[in-house]
A and B are shown apart, each in its own frame.
Chain A
Amino acid sequence: AQSVSQHNHHVILSEAASLELGCNYSYGGTVNLFWYVQYPGQHLQLLLKYFSGDPLVKGIKGFEAEFIKSKFSFNLRKPSVQWSDTAEYFCAVRSSGNTGKLIFGQGTTLQVKP
């Protein structure tokens, strides 16, 4: 069965620190990969996605992620976080052969201290 693992459950950073959130998935075939963000009290928003092509993907708000197929990883990065990045971050994977079902990781709570 497919699964998604996010290594960091709770991350606390100071403003301007660099961020990297880990995401690994288990599925041997073609996958589509996503990072979603959920700000406090708000709905899920897509940060970025990878379908094919350049494995380094740039998203909104200065976020980027790198797909490393050999490591089954899709880590999220941001060079300098802001207080407004405080949120819950979810990695998700969708295999190409199913009916569009997304498998989410358990989420990472990011707290940025001003």
Chain B
Amino acid sequence: DTEVTQTPKHLVMGMTNKKSLKCEQHMGHRAMYWYKQKAKKPPELMFVYSYEKLSINESVPSRFSPECPNSSLLNLHLHALQPEDSALYLCASRRDVGGNEQFFGPGTRLTVL
């Protein structure tokens, strides 16, 4: 299994809703990442988890809350989002923080109404 999976593929939510994005990999990778990507723009790093511990938070607003329950799973909990948070949310994983390239998932297309 050499892929990163993300669910759901699409999500529409209101500004008062609470929802979660899920990312999973079974490659034994110990570094996992959340990125936000707007149309025609590069991915922007949000969070990095290394060995299930949060190692980087790129000054992301607290309405985004990451969680890494185990080495294969990464969640992003969403609450009280704004319409400008609408974007493609990408998850990625890497063998470990010092190794090789990142493998990206297909993303969750989020629309905040």
Binding site for B on A (CB under 8 A): 34, 36, 42-46, 49, 88, 90, 92, 99-102, 104-107, 109
**Proximity string of chain B (28-50) to chain A, C-beta cutoff 8 Å, 1 when within and 0 when not:** 00010100000011110100101
- Of B12-20, B63-71, B75-83, B98-106, the segment with at least 4 beta carbons within 8 Å of chain A is B98-106
- Determine whether the beta carbon of A44 is less than 8 Å from that of B104: yes
Question: A19 CA to B79 CA in the complex, in Å?
Answer: 44
Q: Is the interface of A mostly helix, strand, loop or mixed?
A: strand
- Determine whether the beta carbon of A88 is less than 8 Å from that of B40: yes
- Determine whether the beta carbon of A99 is less than 8 Å from that of B104: no
Which residue in B31, B43, B90, B106 is a CB contact (below 8 Å) of A100? B31
Cβ-closest chain B residue relative to A4: B42
Residues from chain A with Cβ under 8 Å of B56 in the complex: 99, 101
- Determine whether the beta carbon of A106 is less than 8 Å from that of B42: yes
- Determine whether the beta carbon of A99 is less than 8 Å from that of B41: no
Question: A49 CA to B98 CA in the complex, in Å?
Answer: 15
**CB within 8 Å of A: which B80-113 residues:** 90, 94, 97-98, 101-107
Which residue in A42, A88, A102, A105 is a CB contact (below 8 Å) of B102? A102
How near does chain A come to B8, taking the closest CB pair, in angstroms? Answer: 15
- Determine whether the beta carbon of A105 is less than 8 Å from that of B90: no
B62 at the interface (CB under 8 A from A): no
Cβ-closest chain A residue relative to B50: A99
Cβ-closest chain A residue relative to B102: A102
Which residue in A43, A45, A105 is a CB contact (below 8 Å) of B42? A105
